[in-house]
Amino acid sequence: MAFQIHLSEARLRAEKAHGLWPDRILTDYLDEAVKAAPNQVAITGANSATGERTTLTYAELAHRVERIALGLAALGARLAALESQFVDDDGDTFSEVQDDCDDTNADVSPLADEIAGNGIDDDCDHEIDEAV
């Protein structure tokens, strides 16, 4: 799959500095698995309500991933930008997906204490400087 990394140079530098960016995206690992063992089972899912099982080989999984990614790209999404939302950029153990409202500031996270008067939503509850 030929997907490009769509992150700013500043973001890439910051992630590399924290050891969070290995110059690869998830599809690179999938491509390697397809080359090494295209017919090996990659994933199995089961519907608990019906008991129906679905099994995909690495080649089948790669095909589905590509179809989904191309569909998202047609809608304007960028695969690597989506992946990066799962990475904690500031080292506070929370990412954007985990409700970190400012992933460039390690003092701001859902577990932080609100600091009254600083004009910042320190605890990511969508309220700035609420009474503490």
pLDDT per residue over 44-90, tens digit each? 999 999 999 999 999 999 999 888 878 877 777 665 555 566 676 77
To the nearest 10 degrees (0 to 180), the angle between helices 26-36 and 58-74 is: 150
pLDDT per residue over 101-123, tens digit each? 888 888 998 888 999 889 999 99
Closest CA to 18 of 95, 111, 124, 123: 95
On whether the pTM is more than 0.85, the answer is: no
Specify whether the CB–CB gap between 121 and 108 falls below 8 A: yes
Give Cβ neighbours of residue 3 (< 8 Å, ≥ 6 apart): 25, 27, 69, 79, 80
CA distance 35 to 28: 11
